[in-house]
Chain A
Amino acid sequence: MKRGLSMLCSIIMLLIVSACVKGAEEDLYKVVYKSEEVDIEVEDKQNTEYSIAIIPKLINIPYFNAVEEGALKAGKDLGVHVIYKGPRTAEPSQQIQIINEFIEGGEVDVIAVSANDPEKLVPVLKKAKQHNIRVITWDADTMPEGREFFINMVHPETLGRHLMDTLAWNTGEEGEFAIMTGANSAANLNEWLKWIKVQHKEYYPSMSLVEVAATDDDPHKAYTIAKRLIADYPNLKGIIGNSSVGPPAAAQAVQEAGKNGEIAVVGLSPPNDMNEYLKNDAAQVVTLWSPKKLGYLTVALSRNILSNYLPYDNQDIPGVGKIRMMNDMVIMGEPIDFVKENVDQYDF
C-alpha cells in the first residue's frame, strides 16, 4: 500500500518535473495569436539616390521660375535630387531633345514634363518609359498614353469659366474683347480657351470675342501682339491673357496707350509681375494658382510614385494640402484671384 502510493507520487512528480523542464526552454513570451507581423519599415531606396527631372515649357519666365523655386524646395524637403531643365522657347522639339538627353544620361527616375505639344512628345515619353523612367505631366498634358497621370493646377472648366467671369465683371458684361493665348499647340491653354468660349456663349451675349492671338509664351511677341490688338480694335473693352505671358504684356500695352481702366486686363499671371499694373489699374484681376505649390506638388508626387504610392482623391500632400483626383488627372486646388488689395501677400 505505502509503496504503491510512493510509486504513484514519483510518477506524478516525474510528469511535473518534465513539464517544468519544458517550460524553462521556452521564450519569455509565447505568441498565442498573430493577425499580422508588424512591418519594420524598410527604406526602399535612399531618397538622395532618386533623381527627378522637372521639364517646364520654357525657362526664364516668372511663372516657371516660381515653379522651379517650389520644385527645388520640395527636393530639399523630401531629400530627392531635382533637376529643373527646360527649353529657352516653348518648342516641343527642344523638350524632346532634353528628354532624350535625360534618357541617355540614365540618371533620372522620373520625368515630369509640362508639354508644349500633346502629341509630339508621346514617342519620346514612351521611350523614356521603356528605359524604366516614370513619366508624369504637369501644367500641360500630353495624350494619356504618354504619361501615368497629369497634374493640373485647377480644374480647366472652373478656370476657363472664371477667367471669362473676371473679364465680364470689369467690362460691365459688354463690348469687344480679345484673348491672348500661349502656343496654339498647348493642350491646357486650348482647354481653358474652350471653357472661356463656352462661358461667353452661355452668359454674356452682349460681349463679342474679336480675336484669339497666340503669343507662343514669348514676352516680346506678346507685347507686340497686345499693342496690335489695341490698335486694331478701337472699341476693345478687354483682354484675357490665357497664358502667364499675356497679362503683363497686355497691361504694359494698355498703360502705354494710356487706357488704364478703359481696357480691362485679366488673365493668368503670377502676381509679382502684375503688382504694379494692378495697383495703377492697368490690370484689374489676374488669376493664377501658386506655381511654387505646383512645383512642390510635382516633385512630391514624383517622389511618391517611386515608392509606388499613387495619388488619390482627397490625399493630403504635406506642404501642399489636399488634392483632388479625377480619373488620371490630379487637380491641385482652386484658382486665386489677385487684385490690388491682396497682391502684396503673394510672392511669386
Chain B
Amino acid sequence: MIFKKFRDSKLMSKLMLTYILLTVIPISVLGYIAYSQYTKSIEDEVGKYIPQLLEQANNNIDNQINDFKNLPDAVYNSSQVIEILRKDAYQTKSTLLQDEFIVNSYLSRTYINNGNNDILGVFVLSKGRMFKSAKMNYKGFNKDSFPMIYGDDVDLQGRVEIILPSQTDITFENNVPFILFMRELRDYENQETLGAVFIAIQLSFLDEALKSLDKDHISSIWIADQNGKNVYHTNSDLIGESDENYSNYPNINGSFRTTQLAQNQLISRNELSATDWTLFHSVALQDLTKETDMVRNGTIIVFIIFVLLSTIISIFLAWNVSSPLNKLTRLMKRVEQGNFNVDLPINKNDEIGILANSFNSMIQKINQLIKKNYQIELRQKDAELYALQSQINPHFMYNTLETIGYAVDEEDKETVTKMVTLLGKMLRYSLNNKEKLVLISQELDHINDYLTIQKFRFEDRVDFHFDEQIDTSIFYMPKFVMQPIIENSIKYGLEKLEPTLISISIKKTNNDELHIRIEDNGPGIEKEVLTKLNHSLGQNPMAKRSSNFGLINVHARIAMIYGSAYGIRVESEKEKGTVVIIKIPASTNREIG
C-alpha cells in the first residue's frame, strides 16, 4: 500500500524521501545506539564502582562494629568488677552502694572517659542491680521499665545483639540517634550468667564512614536490618522506617537498577559481615547521566540542524533533477500543441543537459522538416497554380482559341483538331495533381504540347527541338519545372524580330546528375539583372519571395526536393540568348526522397 503510494508519488518526493531516509535513519540509529551504549556504560561503570566503595565503607563499618562488639570485654578486665558482679546478696545498703560506685566509676573510666566519642552510655544489668555511666542525659532505661527479656535472664550465648532505639524506651538528649549493643556478661569460670551489658553508640560513626560515598549529595544511603528496617538513613527522618521494597531487591552484593519508576534508580547493596545489616546506596540514573545529557542535547541539536540541512540539500538536489524534467514536460506539452518555437535553456553537461540538448536539436529538426515539407508543398501548389494559371491564362486561352478560330475559318480541320487535342492534353496534365514527380518524358510531352500550340500560333517565329541523350522514360523530375522557363523564352524571344529557337537537351553527367538545358536565342538578360537573379537563386530556397518570379519558384522547388546542390542556373549574354540549366539527380524513384 505504502510502496504503491510511494511508487506513484512524484519524482521529487521520492528523491527527497530517499535522501532524508538515507541520512536521518542511519544518523538517528547511530546516535541512539551511541547514546544508549554510553549511558549504559556509565551505568555499568558506576554500578561496578559503587559496590566497591560500599564494600570499603562496609569494611570500615564492620571494623567499627566489631570494635564496638568487643567493648563489653573490657568489663572482664577488672577482677574487682567481676567479683562484684558475682555477688548475689548484700548485708547492708552501703556495701551495695559502694559496689555500685566501684563499678560505675570503672565503667566511666573505661568507656566514657577513654576518648571514644561514639559511646553515649554503658549500662550493666546484673542480678537486680544496675550499673551505669552515660555521657549525656537520658530518659528511660531503668531496671523496672526495661523489658525482662533484656534483663538478667538474657541468654545470648556470647553473641552481641544490636537493639534499635525503637525497641527500647531509652532516649538521649537532643534525640541523638544511637544503637544499643547488648551482650550477656558471662562468668566463664563458673559458667554462669552475671548479667548483661548495654553500650549505646552514637550513629555518627556511620556518618563518618559513609560521608565519602555521597560527596555530591545526590544519593541516598541507608542501612537496613534483616527486616528492612532502616537503621541508618542519610535522611534522618527515615531512620526506623521500613523499606517496603526490601524483600524484592535482588539478593546480591552488587548493583541493580529499577525499571518501572518514573525516575529510575541505580541501587547498590552490600551486606555487612559483622551484622545482619545491608548497606544500600541509591542514586537516580538521571543524576548519573546529567553530564551526558548536555552532550545528548548538543547532539540532538546538531542532529536537528543536520536533518534540516540534509532536508534542504535534498530539496535542492531533488529540485535540481526534477525541475528541468518539469520544464521539459511543459515544453513538450507546448510542442504537442504545435508550438515548435521552444528552447530548453540548460547549459549543463550532465544527463539532463544532454537530454535538453537532444530535445532542442530534435525540436529544431522537427521544425525544419515540417517547414521544409510545408514549403515544398507550398511551392508545388504554387507551381501547379502557376501552370494552371498559365494554361487557363485568359491571354493564352484567348490566343489559342483565336488561333483555333482562324484555323476554323480556313477550314483547316486538321489543325483545329490537333490544337484542341493538344489543349485538352495540356489541361489534363495540369489537372492531374496527384504526383509531384513525373517521368521526364511526360514533362517533355507537356512542353512539346505547349510549344506545338505556340508554333501553331506564331508559325515560323517559334521553333524548337529536343535533344534527348538519355532514356527519359525511366527518370523522374518535378512537374511543371520547364514550362515557366519556356514561357519566359517565348515571351522575351517574340520581342525580337528573328524567329525564336528553343532547344532543349537532356543529358546525364558522370556524377549521376541530369542536366536539362533550355537554350534560346532571345534578347538575353542584362548583366545586372542576371547577377541579381543568380544571387537570388543562390539564397535559401525556403526564403519567401514573390511567386511571380517563375524561375525562382522552380529553383526553390528543386532545391527543396533534392537539396540545395540542385536547382537551376541561368547563363545569358545580351543579344545572344539565354541558357537555363536545370540540374536534378538522376532518379528513377517516383517518390520524393
Q: Judge whether B16 and A4 touch: CB under 8 Å.
A: yes
Using an 8 Å CB-CB cutoff, how does the interface string of A1-30 with B read, 1 for contact, 0 for none? Answer: 101100110011001000000010011111
Closest Cβ–Cβ distance, residue A120 to chain B (whole Å): 32
B255: A residues at CB distance < 8 A:
31-34
Closest Cβ–Cβ distance, residue A62 to chain B (whole Å): 14
Q: Judge whether B2 and A29 touch: CB under 8 Å.
A: no
A301 to B78, CA, bound (A): 27
Q: Judge whether A29 and B249 touch: CB under 8 Å.
A: yes
A182 to B83, CA, bound (A): 32
A37 to B86, CA, bound (A): 46
A102 to B76, CA, bound (A): 39
**Total number of B residues with any Cβ neighbor in A under 8 Å:** 53
B253 CB-CB contact with A under 8 Å: yes
Q: A23-B259, A28-B259, A318-B157 are in contact. Are A33 and B83 (CB under 8 A)?
A: no
B132 CB-CB contact with A under 8 Å: no
Q: Judge whether A8 and B254 touch: CB under 8 Å.
A: no
A317 to B189, CA, bound (A): 14
Closest Cβ–Cβ distance, residue B318 to chain A (whole Å): 10
Closest B residue, CB atoms, query A11: B25
Q: Judge whether B253 and A29 touch: CB under 8 Å.
A: no
Q: Which interface residue of B73, B157, B188, B257 has the most chain A CB atoms within 10 A? A: B188
Q: Judge whether B158 and A4 touch: CB under 8 Å.
A: no
Q: Judge whether A34 and B252 touch: CB under 8 Å.
A: yes
Q: Judge whether A77 and B157 touch: CB under 8 Å.
A: yes
B256 CB-CB contact with A under 8 Å: yes
B48 CB-CB contact with A under 8 Å: yes
Q: Judge whether B2 and A7 touch: CB under 8 Å.
A: yes
B21: A residues at CB distance < 8 A:
4, 8
Q: Which of B83, B156, B250, B259 contacts A26 (CB 8 A)?
A: B259
Closest B residue, CB atoms, query A78: B157
A292 CB-CB contact with B under 8 Å: yes
A37: B residues at CB distance < 8 A:
251-253
Q: Judge whether A30 and B190 touch: CB under 8 Å.
A: no
**Which of A43-51, A212-220, A340-348 sits within the interface?**
A340-348
Closest Cβ–Cβ distance, residue B590 to chain A (whole Å): 61
Q: A32-B43, A35-B51 are in contact. Are A319 and B157 (CB under 8 A)?
A: yes
A77: B residues at CB distance < 8 A:
155, 157
B16: A residues at CB distance < 8 A:
1, 4
B249: A residues at CB distance < 8 A:
29
Q: Judge whether A32 and B190 touch: CB under 8 Å.
A: no
For chain B, residues 244 to 291, give those with C-beta under 8 angstroms from any C-beta of chain A. 248-260, 266-268, 271
Q: Which of B9, B252, B260 contacts A3 (CB 8 A)?
A: B9
B7: A residues at CB distance < 8 A:
none
Q: Judge whether A31 and B254 touch: CB under 8 Å.
A: yes
Closest Cβ–Cβ distance, residue B526 to chain A (whole Å): 76
B20 CB-CB contact with A under 8 Å: yes
A258 CB-CB contact with B under 8 Å: no
B32: A residues at CB distance < 8 A:
15
A320 to B189, CA, bound (A): 8
Using an 8 Å CB-CB cutoff, how does the interface string of A314-348 with B read, 1 for contact, 0 for none? Answer: 00111111100000000001001000001001111
Q: Judge whether B159 and A318 touch: CB under 8 Å.
A: yes
Q: Judge whether B250 and A29 touch: CB under 8 Å.
A: yes
Q: Which of A8, A40, A293, A322 contacts B189 (CB 8 A)?
A: A293
Q: Judge whether B158 and A316 touch: CB under 8 Å.
A: yes
A29: B residues at CB distance < 8 A:
248-250, 256-259, 267
A101: B residues at CB distance < 8 A:
none
Q: Judge whether B256 and A30 touch: CB under 8 Å.
A: yes
Closest A residue, CB atoms, query B21: A8
Q: Which of B83, B252, B256, B267 contacts A38 (CB 8 A)?
A: B252
A296 to B17, CA, bound (A): 87
Closest Cβ–Cβ distance, residue A38 to chain B (whole Å): 5
Closest Cβ–Cβ distance, residue A93 to chain B (whole Å): 32
B91 CB-CB contact with A under 8 Å: no
B186 CB-CB contact with A under 8 Å: yes
A36 CB-CB contact with B under 8 Å: yes
Q: Judge whether B83 and A32 touch: CB under 8 Å.
A: no
Q: Judge whether A336 and B191 touch: CB under 8 Å.
A: no
Q: Judge whether B259 and A32 touch: CB under 8 Å.
A: no
B443: A residues at CB distance < 8 A:
none
Q: Which 5 A-B pairs have the closest CB atoms?
A: A318-B158, A32-B47, A4-B17, A290-B189, A34-B254
16 A-B pairs with CB atoms under 8 Å apart are: A8-B21, A11-B25, A12-B28, A28-B260, A29-B248, A31-B256, A32-B254, A33-B51, A34-B254, A36-B252, A37-B252, A40-B251, A293-B189, A318-B156, A318-B157, A321-B73
What is B's interface to A at a CB cutoff of 8 Å?
Answer: 2, 5-6, 9, 13, 16-17, 20-21, 24-25, 28, 32, 43-44, 47-48, 51-52, 55, 70, 73, 76, 83, 86, 155-159, 186, 188-192, 248-260, 266-268, 271
